[in-house]
Amino acid sequence: MRVPYDLKKNNYLRMKIINRLSIILLLFLGVSQYVSADYPIASHRYLADPGALVYNGRVYLYCSNDDDNPSGERSSYEMHSIVCISSSDMKNWTDHGVVFQVPQDASWAPKSWAPSPATRDGKVFLYFGNGGNGIGVAMANNPLGPFKDPIGKALVSSSTPGVMPARNMWLFDPMTFIDDDGQAYMYFGGNGDDNVRVIKLNKDMISVDGPAIQLTAKNFFEASWMHKNNGIYYFSYSSNPRAEMRIDYMKSDNPISGFTYGGIVSKQPPMNDNNNHQAIFRFNDVWYQAYHNRIVAKQAHVPPVYKRNICLDTFRHNADGTIEIMTNTVDGVKQVGYLNPYQRTEAETFNAQSGIKTEVCVNGGMNLCNIENGDWIKIKGVDFGKTGTKSFSACVAGNGGTIEIILDNPANKPIATCKVTNSEIQKWHTEIYKISKITGVHDVFLKFTGKGANLFNFDWWKFS
């Protein structure tokens, strides 16, 4: 059975008005925080529907790739690849690019939406929606893939026992949760209070154990997520347009039954006006919610519905087990530890940027590209220590130009201007520049200057 997923844009009028009013208020107050925002956390590409994995001291966010969606008024959700970004300090994020794409990595599926990761026995699993028409699984030996479909078909379809009957169900937005006793549960569904389903997974994580069980959630729209805190199971989800597509939650002392409505985790994000999708995770004892909004497209005057960006905030559980409503911020998350500049850092790791893009690098990973005069990246909270720096190394390729190293404020005078010599694109060479001593903790801006388009590409950097 084909299950369509159709966003009814007109239902969002009310939220549009609220957001317009908040922008007018910000302008009135002279607040330009959206313009200079740290968030979204990856402003150089359109990503949405995050799923979070905490793995070996890093947070990996797997996202629907909105760059797959055509631009313009006649666009639609056509995402067929999944992009991963990761961070160990929650401020500087590394772009790992596409880690899974269909149909190359799962031949039966034309789409891959809204992934959720899980890990067991050294393997990493990604669960994804084939649009609203079924749920697939992909598997890899590490968080960056390559992820491949190990079963050659949908893991859950409309013929999986317990999924039907359902009225106009969107069969998507899977979230796989492994309980403390090792039992894995996958939550999914959309478009109707009675359309929440949970199904047990076998230990192999690629087959189901028994039928799907129906749950009911008030105003349920999409974006199922499960987290557990102090023995309480929290099922969170996006509410429907009538309820302003907030993230609401139900709680229970059991992962598959007994849920009662708990309240609101977070309201409709600013600069969004449309669907909402959360990933909730704990990292270093702080609870985070990753979600998307539409800030970059709105600021760029690009039709924003299918062009979303990932944001991040923290929230708390109250002592009585309820959740304190999260505040959406543009720079509210604290940095968890400083970045060590004496280790090689990928150039595609940054806190903010202007003008740059990333691409697959022949050396592995990604590199910065599309660099033009005046573009920059900002690396936040870099600890140069007491002894300080002597040199700066950069692995670069391309026409040439300069890298200006600027500390703390982009308007400051560069402490070094490093000349990048000409080479062929993707013919990488490392240049080493003598620089003056930098000590202590700074935000580092690497600003690129030169004549013409596509000055050079940039793979990694390191101070000595």
Residues making contact with ligand FUB (CB under 6 A): 48-49, 64, 77, 113-114, 129, 172-173, 222-223, 275, 277
Nearest to 416 by CA among 449, 440, 383: 449
CB of 305 to ligand FUB, least distance (A): 10
- Which residues touch 262 (CB under 8 Å, ≥6 apart)? 234, 248, 249, 250, 251, 322, 323
Tokens found for residue 178: 């492994």
Q: Looking at beta carbons only, is 222 or 273 nearer to ligand FUB?
A: 222
Residue 49 and residue 63 in contact, taking contact as beta carbons nearer than 8 Å:
yes
3-state secondary structure of 319: coil
Q: Looking at beta carbons only, is 277 or 380 nearer to ligand FUB?
A: 277
384: left (phi over 0), alpha (psi -120 to 50) or beta: alpha
**What are the backbone angles phi and psi of residue 9, rounded to the nearest 5°?**
-60, -35
Q: Looking at beta carbons only, is 237 or 445 nearer to ligand FUB?
A: 237
CB of 228 to ligand FUB, least distance (A): 21
- For the sheet with 113-120, list strands across it: 113-120, 123-129, 135-140
- Which residues touch 88 (CB under 8 Å, ≥6 apart)? 57, 58, 59, 336, 337
Whole-number Cα distances in Å, 252 to 196, 215, 256, 323: 15, 12, 9, 13
CB of 294 to ligand FUB, least distance (A): 11
Q: Which amino acid is at 26?
A: L
Q: Looking at beta carbons only, is 105 or 222 nearer to ligand FUB?
A: 222
CB of 49 to ligand FUB, least distance (A): 5
**Catalytic residue IDs:** 49, 222
- Which residues touch 168 (CB under 8 Å, ≥6 apart)? 3, 191, 192, 195
CB of 399 to ligand FUB, least distance (A): 38
Residue 92 and residue 349 in contact, taking contact as beta carbons nearer than 8 Å:
yes
Q: Looking at beta carbons only, is 172 or 187 nearer to ligand FUB?
A: 172
Residue 399 and residue 386 in contact, taking contact as beta carbons nearer than 8 Å:
no
Given CA atoms 268, 40, 359, 223 in this order, what sign does their dihedral have?
A: negative
Give the integer Cα–Cα distance in Å for 245 and 273: 9
Tokens found for residue 3: 């299950």
Q: Looking at beta carbons only, is 50 or 143 nearer to ligand FUB?
A: 50
Q: Looking at beta carbons only, is 76 or 284 nearer to ligand FUB?
A: 76
Longest dimension (CA), the chain: 70
CB of 340 to ligand FUB, least distance (A): 36
Give the integer Cα–Cα distance in Å for 74 and 387: 57
Is beta strand 309-315 parallel, antiparallel or unpaired with respect to 232-239? unpaired
Task: Produce one character per residue of 109-125: b if its CB has 16 or more CB atoms within 10 Å, e if not.
Answer: bebbbbbbbbbeeeebb
Given CA atoms 44, 46, 48, 51 in this order, what sign does their dihedral have?
A: negative
The single residue listed with the structure tokens 């209070």 is 193
